[in-house]
Structure 1
Amino acid sequence: MKFEDNSGRFDLNAALERFSGDTELLYEAIAIFKEESVSHLKKVRRFLSEGNLQGVSEEAHTLKAECGAVGAVTAQFLSESIDKAAQTNDIAASNELYTKLEEEVQIAIDELPDIA
């Protein structure tokens, strides 16, 4: 697996370790992430618009795990931050972080490698 990241956004070496060095399995996880992350973002956005912070927290928590699994560390950090903000009923921070998370997940979708 060759993937250059000088931005610090990704840690594919750590992700590969999570999959016991199985590159094929990591590629499959990335493909799933690229599909599922969009759905989770839509749910977070919907829950934010409804003021459902428990829903925001749950979806952000799930997205955090998915981001971490594929080495999208910046998106993982932002997901965790939204989760925490929602748990403390900080809707303003949750909304502000959502915009950043949405951008970061899109970057991950665009830049993480596809199955070779």
Structure 2
Amino acid sequence: MCLKIVILVALVVAVTADHHAFSSQHVHKHDGHHEVVSHGHGHHHDYYTHPKYHFEYKIEDHHTGDHKSQHEERDGDLVKGYYELKEPDGHIRHVHYHADKHSGFHADVKHSTHHVYHHHH
């Protein structure tokens, strides 16, 4: 048992020694009231819950350069969200999107870069 604890502590130290990474997530589902849907003959009914949720996550790993985040929410047929990620060339991709059953999926994509200024004495 003591050997297992020593091995576990050694693994935790080895993994965290060189990595300074951050990851988080949040998911929230709203359970609403059931609605009755009639199909054709009136003898059959389906019961379903109005779809409603929101979630978000974020990853920042300075060792691998993996940086991304997303937030999305849905209320019935409307879905909207946002995500961003750091691309290999250093640009940040920002995407705002929304979708519904009438107009389909739409996304607005923008790129930005972080400028590094060097000050010489």
Specify the structure having the higher radius of gyration (Cα). Answer: 2
- Structure having the larger proportion of residues in helix: 1
Q: TM-score, normalised by structure 2?
A: 0.21
More contact order relative to length (CA 8 Å, sep ≥ 6): 1
